[in-house]
Amino acid sequence: MKYRQIATNIWEDNYIFDLSDKEFRAFTYFFTNHKVNMVGIYELPDRIICSTLGATLGELKEIKKKFEADRKYFFFNGFIFINNFSKHNHFSSVPTVMDTYLHDFNYIPQDVLKHFL
C-alpha cells in the first residue's frame, strides 16, 4: 500500500474553492490513486477513472480540459502527468528509493516522456 501526504491548506486554497464536487474528487484522485508513482507520470485508463469518480466520459473530458488549461494535470494516450509533482514531494536519496524512482521512470514509454517532458 502506498501513502500520500496531503497538505492541510488544500482546504483553504482558492483554486479548490472554485472546483465542482466532481472536479475536486478528480483533482484529489489524480494525485492519490494507487497508480501514482514517484515520477508523477502514470497510466490510468479513462474507464477506470470514470468508474471510480462516477463520471461520464463527457464529464471526464471536460474535467481534463479544465485541468490542462489550469496547468494542474496533463493527459496523453492514457497517461497522466501531475504538474509540479516533484515540487510537492520530496524523496530520500537512499539507494532503494532512487532505484524505485528509476524503475518507475524507465517504465514510462519514450513517446509519453517526450510528450510531457
pTM for the predicted model, two decimal places: 0.90
Distance CA(20)–CA(71), nearest Å, equals: 17
User: Quick one: pLDDT at residue 6?
Assistant: 83
User: Quick one: pLDDT at residue 63?
Assistant: 98
Distance CA(29)–CA(22), nearest Å, equals: 10
User: Quick one: pLDDT at residue 90?
Assistant: 65
Residues of the chain with pLDDT under 50: none
Cα separation values, 117 from 24, 83, 112, 113, Å: 26, 11, 8, 6
pLDDT tens-digit map of 64-94: 999 999 999 999 999 999 998 877 666 767 8
| Relative orientation angle of helices 57-69 and 46-53, to the nearest 10 degrees | 100
User: Quick one: pLDDT at residue 39?
Assistant: 94
User: Quick one: pLDDT at residue 45?
Assistant: 97
Neighbours of 42 (CB within 10 A): 21
